[in-house]
Chains A and B, each alone.
Chain A
Amino acid sequence: MKSAPFKYYVPSEIDEALELLYQLGDEAKILAGGQSLVPMLNYRLLSPANLLDINRVSELKRYSLTDEGLKIGAGVRQREIELSPEIELAFPVLHQALTNVAHVQIRNRGTICGSLAHADSAAELPSVMVALGAQMVIRSGVGVRAVKAEEFFKFHLTSDLEPAEILTEVHVPKLPAKTVGAFEEVTRRKGDFALVGAALLGQWDANGQIQNCRIVCSGVAPVPLRLRFAEDIVNGTDLSDQVLVNVQQSVMDSLDPTEDIHTSSHYRKIVTGVVVRRGLSRLVDQRGAANGSR
């Protein structure tokens, strides 16, 4: 469990990092928080020839919360976002998801963008970013591009990032008024990756009906799985008990989830229905608050 040899680069400017990455190409891995990368190096699951440490790039260490939304740089630790009261108020579902990411010690070091770039579909952040409609800001030596979260995740541990690119920032757009959200998951142990997880968002309208509902599951597919059919069932309804029962059944009937050593496809199929129903009932719990002061 000692890493294979690699060359180590510590750029202090983003342009320097991009230039290095351009030269090194697919022979390099980017080290941010290292909470997934370093164990993979030690298990020799990865043995990149070069390691590009972006922890000294001060430009990447910033986050900002404005009228447009939240921007989180690639160097920002998960714990910083979790502990910001303003962010918790603006994006409660992101805060809830973060409290389910591993343990405090790991969140102290792990970065938001690192988790997204790692693209583990059982992780919390990818599904919550898809639900939030986040944009991935991707830079390379030749320019900048933005990719919707929903299109960023390609397969398990595979994202849209090209070898010479860095996910420098994630943009989370401001949520519409009266948005409610929930994050639900089932894990073996506290802090584990989800056996099944779901991030849910929606808005209660004046008639007491949920609109623009987004339901995105983690752990059930090679990418965060947006359950559009379930969203169609619930949008425009009052999320009555009958609707919740219907959506649970529909999820159970429709999914063909991943099987791994943690649990079976069958378990995930049943429990995804449960998790989605429970998440939706938490949206119901917030109906009064959404139609009240805000």
Chain B
Amino acid sequence: MSQISEIKENLTVTNIGRGMIRREDPRLLTGQGKFIDDLPFSDFYEAAILRSPHAHARVVSIDTERALKLSGVIAIYTAADLEPIMKDLPPKVSHPKLNYQIRLPMVKEYANYVGEPIAVVVAENRYIAEDAVDLIEIEYETLPAVASTHAALRKGGPKVHIGSESNVAVHIIQKAGDPEAALKTAPHVIRETFKITRGGGHSIEGRGVAARFDPITQQLTVWDNTQAPHYVRQMLATIYGMTEDEIRLIAPQDIGGGFGPKAQFYGEEVVIPWIVMQMKHPVKWVEDRWENFISATMERSQTHRVEVGFDEDGHLLVLKDVFEHDQGAYCVGLQVPTITMSTLPGPYVIPNIHSELISCYTNIVPTSSLRGAGRPQAVTVMERMMDRIAEHLGMEPAEIRRRNLIQPDQFPYAVGLLFRDGSPLTYDSGNYPALLEGAVDRIDIVKFRRDQAEARSQGRFLGLGLSMYVEGTGIGPYEGARVRLTNSGKILVTLAASPQGQGYETVYAQVAADAIGVDIDLVEVRHGDTSSIPYGQGTFASRVTATAGPAVWEASELLKSDLLAVAASLLKCDVSSLALSGNSVFIESEPERRVLLYDIALVSNVGRHGMSVPRDLPIAIERTAYFKPVQAVYSSGISAVIVEVDPETGKIEILKSLLGHDCGNVLNPMIVEGQILGGHAHGIGNAIYEEARYSEDGQPQAVSYLDYALPTAIEVPTPELFHVFSPSPLNPLGVKGAGEGGTIPVPGAVANAVEDALRPFGSRICELPLTPERVLRAIYDHD
């Protein structure tokens, strides 16, 4: 916590840096949370969606006659009924070279993945709506499907989109230095191919949209458990031809996890509110688990062909990586593969880099960000290669890393590539050697190698894996906060970004209370309502702490100066003589001369109806600030894992998991720890368990937790944590994002550990997740 004290020296900090119990917890732990399906939408109709059963098909005809006759069915909508909103849903992150394919809210003619919405049934309840879905008769002309990047790139193979010439969505190359020349001259060059599969977000709550239209005020109110309320509002306003003020987008107080898929924009979000305006009756749609499996965006697989060149001492000279990314049926955004491109170099000095993306369309549900967002893949590739270099040179993997780390005095460090936010990939701060040595000390590698040798002599196979990463967080364009003195003398913080379990109601109360100096119990935090703050971006990409955090801080500081100015006027003294604490402002030398915040509200907010106030008296005590980061801020970390592999069954037991983490200053250590633990579970899932399997014709093979091996508490060991504090110089709080760091390094560390364990067999670990099957194949099927 040493860096926290630096802030404390400059400011009256009493709450920031404390692991305060979350204000959200009592209601969540006692079942009092208000998730979208808990809201009292008693007069709402319910919708069910008919989804394409084919990965690729032309819809020849749709007959809804029988379904409409079912008692309790109110209406059925297909694309033909929704012409005014059959508009493109553009990608969040695009590229000039993108081979763009229009994504519509619902299937108009061609269904391009299993799960794509074709018809919406509105009924008195969800049971009837689902019965009616079964009664809709659709004639399909099935078409050949593309179910992998490998199939997508096959010459003369079928096309994902009828009429397109290529399944390549985008082909991008980024370079630093002169990688071609360096590959020719490097004393050692090694190569490998890795296929890394990632899973879905699997938030405990699926997606959900409900809407009501008030014909008197002409206000459309939409409840949507999105990670990005203002983004959804703007998309709806654009598609509907409405102004942003005609749409009130409410993200419910409690949202059961986001992890990325809920930050994307879906056809259902367009269709449901529109139907509401057509029907003049409220409707809700809540995604069920089956729909979540087939229609929520996920991340799936990348195939990397990587080469590294290095010298006799193990110094990296060049990295060349060419990878295929599965974009799915449409480009929802290029953020994931472009993040992969720029995450590869990680914490290492690499003078020459070639990073090449071939992103492919497939007839599978679109992919988009999922906790880690392309980084676990990149880190696995790089960290697997670091271990291969160590093996090649007969060196300890920790030593090869030690020799290549960017040093603390090299910041700001320009990697030479661009990050996904469009800014140069320039690391702002960090202490990578402290992370490495922190892990090495805690693991005691010398002792581990002794244990490993002894175990091998007994026919037991232990392995150690290390994995380091650097993660761009806190990206722009901006985030906002409004801080207000309420008429009852309290402080209300309104955030533009809304949480899905991250504890904003607690942590931003800590920030505001410290910035203003008031008792934290007087501070309340609200979020998730676009009518309360006009602009915002949302919760994704580990960005809110480093954007909304400074916004809350700045708005609170402005508010504090207003409070002091009013108090100075009332107490007839100079502002410099005043102090603020608890619920009042007072003269420091005469604490009994004080005004309550309540008194300030009476004078400046309530006022006396029709009476003038002094010219310099601040009135309407409310301040809004938007913080605009100049670039991303870079968190970093290390994972160290010790495993034991059963070479007869391929089962992996994690004996120890250690995570070192650096997200700069920490606002609430307990919440950061919770984020790391949760992220670690995602990492373990992606290392060993989770896989969204599809058949060769694009049929999803895992649509329940019977078939999709989401790890449970039993499978996830509790990691040992340690922290390094490298505050960011790029925002006033010195903070960086912490939402994904627990996930990012774990798959690479586990893969390294398993290969280390199986070294006596000469096994090559090149494909994740490490199912028992893959582990056995790595033991048996190699030369």
Contact = CB atoms under 8 A, between A and B. Distances in A.
Interface of A: 1-5, 39, 43-44, 186, 188-193, 195, 261-264, 267, 270-271, 274-275
A37 to B, nearest CB: 14
B43 interface: no
Nearest to B709: A188
Given A186-B649, A271-B649, A274-B649, A4 B134 contact: yes
B689 interface: yes
10 contacts: A1-B289, A1-B291, A2-B126, A189-B689, A189-B712, A189-B715, A190-B714, A191-B714, A271-B648, A271-B650
Nearest to A273: B648
B101 interface: no
A188 B689 CA distance: 8
Given A2-B130, A4-B134, A44-B134, A263 B771 contact: yes
Interface stretch (B380-388, B488-496, B700-708): B700-708
B715 A186 contact: no
A5 B134 CA distance: 12
A67 B279 CA distance: 70
B649 A261 contact: no
Given A1-B290, A188-B709, A267-B772, A261 B702 contact: yes
B288 A1 contact: yes
Contact of B776 (A2, A261, A262, A270): A270
Contact of B772 (A1, A5, A188, A190): A188
A186 B772 contact: yes
B23 interface: no
Contacts of A5: 127, 131
A99 to B, nearest CB: 13
Nearest to B775: A267
B569 to A, nearest CB: 62
B115 to A, nearest CB: 14
A190 B130 CA distance: 33
A293 to B, nearest CB: 32
Given A2-B126, A4-B134, A274-B648, A190 B290 contact: no
Contacts of A44: 130, 134
Contacts of A195: 772
Contacts of B648: 271, 274
A42 to B, nearest CB: 8
Contact of B715 (A39, A190, A261): A190
A275 B648 CA distance: 9
B313 interface: no
Contacts of A190: 712, 714-715
Contacts of A43: 290, 704
The residue in A188, A263, A264 that gathers the most chain B C-beta atoms within 10 A of its C-beta is A188
Contacts, number: 66
A189 B131 contact: no
Nearest to A188: B709
Contact of B127 (A2, A39, A191, A274): A2
A6 to B, nearest CB: 11
Instruction: Please name the 8 residue pairs, one residue from A and one from B, whose CB atoms are nearest each other, closest first.
Output: A1-B288, A274-B648, A190-B714, A2-B127, A261-B701, A267-B773, A188-B709, A263-B773
A191 to B, nearest CB: 8
Given A2-B126, A195-B772, A263-B773, A186 B651 contact: yes
Contacts of B701: 261
B693 interface: yes
Contacts of A39: 704, 706
B771 A188 contact: yes
Contacts of A1: 130, 288-291
Contacts of B91: none
B438 interface: no
A195 B290 CA distance: 24
Given A2-B127, A43-B290, A271-B649, 18 more contacts: A2-B130, A2-B288, A3-B127, A5-B127, A39-B704, A44-B134, A186-B649, A188-B772, A189-B689, A189-B712, A190-B712, A191-B712, A263-B771, A263-B773, A267-B772, A267-B773, A267-B776, A271-B772
A197 to B, nearest CB: 12
Contacts of B256: none
B133 to A, nearest CB: 10
Contacts of B649: 186, 271, 274-275
Nearest to B130: A2
Contacts of A188: 689, 709, 771-772
A270 B702 CA distance: 24
Contacts of B290: 1, 43
A1 B689 CA distance: 25
B158 interface: no
B711 interface: yes
Interface in B252-292: 288-291
Contact of B693 (A4, A193, A261): A261
Contact of A189 (B134, B289, B711): B711
Contacts of A261: 693, 701-702, 707
Contacts of A264: 773
Interface in B185-208: none
A262 B707 contact: yes
